Amino acid sequence: MFAAIPLSFSSTFLYFGAMSDLQQQDEQLQQIILLAIETLSHIAYELVMDHLAPLYLRTPYHTSALSGIDWVQELLIGHPKRIWNELGINWNTFIALINAIQAPEIGL
């Protein structure tokens, strides 16, 4: 039906009718591989930028307009996790510290 042409001295033969199908499959495979490489490159770029962006694109953190006693009052009446984020202790520990400092035995 189709003429066979030897590609090498081995017993491998390629038929003219199947050549275009093999070429199409090769092209599709190449497109899939290129798409996979592009996708992995994009993901790698995003991961690196997510990790490095905070080092270069800094957003101010301590931007409260309050200072001194007003800032402390904001910590005390604000969200419970805010005092932990700012001072590294929980609300109950901070209150106990204030009470201990203000105790008459200490004299502050």
Of 2-6, 27-31, 32-36, 56-60, which range is least confident? 2-6
Q: Does the reported pTM lie above 0.75?
A: no
Query: Which of 59, 63, 108, 56 has its CA nearest to residue 86?
Result: 63
Cβ(86)–Cβ(79) below 8 Å: no
- The tens digit of pLDDT for each residue in 44-94 reads 999 998 888 877 777 777 777 888 889 888 888 888 788 888 889 888 888
Cβ(3)–Cβ(16) below 8 Å: yes
**Average pLDDT for the chain:** 79
DSSP string over 53-108: HHHHS---S---S--THHHHHHHHHS-HHHHHHHHSS-HHHHHHHHHHHHSTTTT-
What is the structure's pLDDT at 45?
92
